[in-house]
């Protein structure tokens, strides 16, 4: 039976081999966190199969005791952590790219129903509100899902009864328009006279934080196509022209075959890439 010190040396030898490229990925540039994942897995195996206790962490003293990585393993990882190469930063969605996306949408023969027009509207909406794909599109569609598939709120007792089974993404009633004096406007009134709408109140039924079912209000941005009011009106017009129920997600478009599709990550990526290539050839 190995002692704790010997078991730690076994794990340390294993960690060194992982660092040198003897791992599932066959890479010698794994980050320290990934290497620690291998170390924890090896520790669990020794403890479960061989009843060996491996002291990966040392408990520090003081009033608030904390676990500190055993120096034997820490020394193996410190250089990897210190000289870790930073991943390339994601470039922002610039005004030039948005302008290019607008030009692409404007020349699409399918007009407002097209994929390019829908993606453009949600990009300018998200740029203004900070909305993520999961709030208006389908970020986790299962493999083989239908084109119009959408994620739904769980049908359980933990959810208010009126929201069970309804879409996670925005639906029409999540958007409310108001005049400059905070007078509510119907969608029909806004479509008839878009200039009356100066405020948009958005209900966020799903949020990554603990604050679901909250309302946020945004104001019109005059003289710019990057305007949340214009984006919201275009989104709702498309939704109604597609003949979709008010209880279905607003994030949808019609493809070249005439099929109504919900917006997914692959659609966003393709449209942004095309906009970037046109803006920066």
Question: Can you say how many angstroms the Cα of residue 125 is from the centroid of all Cα atoms in its chain?
Answer: 15
Q: Which residues pair with 59 in a beta bridge?
A: 67
Look at residue 241 in the predicted model and tell me its pLDDT: 95
Alpha-carbon distance values, 273 to 42, 116, 267 (Å): 42, 12, 10
Look at residue 209 in the predicted model and tell me its pLDDT: 60
Look at residue 66 in the predicted model and tell me its pLDDT: 58
Both tokens assigned to 104: 């692409």
Query: How many whole angstroms separate alpha carbon 41 and alpha carbon 35?
Result: 10
Look at residue 210 in the predicted model and tell me its pLDDT: 63
Both tokens assigned to 103: 């030009």
DSSP for 3-71 reads -HHHHHHHHHHHHHHHHTT-STT--S---HHHHHHHHHHHHHHHHHHS------EEE--SSS--EEE-H
DSSP type of residue 160: -
| Bridge-based pairing state of the strands 260-262 and 214-219 | unpaired
2 burial via Cβ count (<10 Å: 0-12, 13-18, 19+): middle
Look at residue 122 in the predicted model and tell me its pLDDT: 95
Look at residue 114 in the predicted model and tell me its pLDDT: 95
Q: Which residues pair with 253 in a beta bridge?
A: 261
Q: Which residue has the tokens 């930063």?
A: 89
Look at residue 225 in the predicted model and tell me its pLDDT: 83
Q: How many CB atoms lie within 10 A of CB 60?
A: 10
Query: How many whole angstroms separate alpha carbon 262 and alpha carbon 270?
Result: 15
Both tokens assigned to 253: 């478009």
Helix (H, G, I), strand (E, B) or coil at 168: coil
Query: How many whole angstroms separate alpha carbon 251 and alpha carbon 119?
Result: 9
pLDDT < 70 stretches in the chain: 59-66, 87-91, 206-212
DSSP type of residue 172: G
């Amino acid at each position: 039976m190995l002692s704790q010190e010997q078991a730690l040396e076994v794990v340390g030898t294993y960690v060194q081999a992982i660092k040198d490229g003897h791992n599932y990925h066959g890479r010698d540039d794994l980050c320290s966190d990934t290497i620690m994942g291998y170390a924890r897995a090896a520790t669990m195996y020794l403890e479960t199969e061989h009843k060996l206790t491996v002291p990966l962490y040392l408990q520090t003293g003081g009033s608030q005791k904390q676990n500190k990585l055993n120096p034997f393993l820490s020394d193996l990882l410190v250089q990897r952590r210190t000289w870790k190469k930073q991943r390339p930063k994601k470039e922002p969605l610039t005004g030039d790219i948005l302008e290019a996306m607008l030009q692409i949408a404007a020349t699409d023969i399918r007009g407002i129903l097209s994929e390019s027009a829908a993606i453009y509207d949600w990009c300018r909406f998200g740029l203004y509100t900070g909305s993520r794909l999961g709030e208006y599109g389908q970020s986790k569609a299962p493999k083989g899902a239908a084109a119009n598939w959408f994620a739904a709120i769980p049908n359980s007792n933990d959810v208010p009864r009126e929201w069970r089974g309804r879409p996670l993404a925005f639906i029409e009633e999540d958007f409310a328009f108001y005049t400059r004096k905070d007078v509510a406007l119907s969608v029909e009134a806004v479509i008839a006279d878009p200039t009356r709408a100066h405020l948009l109140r958005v209900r966020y039924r799903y949020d990554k934080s603990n604050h679901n079912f909250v309302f946020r209000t945004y104001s019109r941005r005059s003289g710019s196509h990057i305007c949340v009011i214009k984006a919201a009106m275009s989104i709702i017009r498309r939704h109604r022209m597609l003949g979709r129920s008010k209880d279905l997600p607003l994030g949808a478009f019609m493809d070249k075959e005439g099929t109504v599709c919900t917006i997914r990550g692959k659609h966003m990526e393709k449209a942004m890439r095309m906009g970037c290539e046109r803006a920066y050839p």
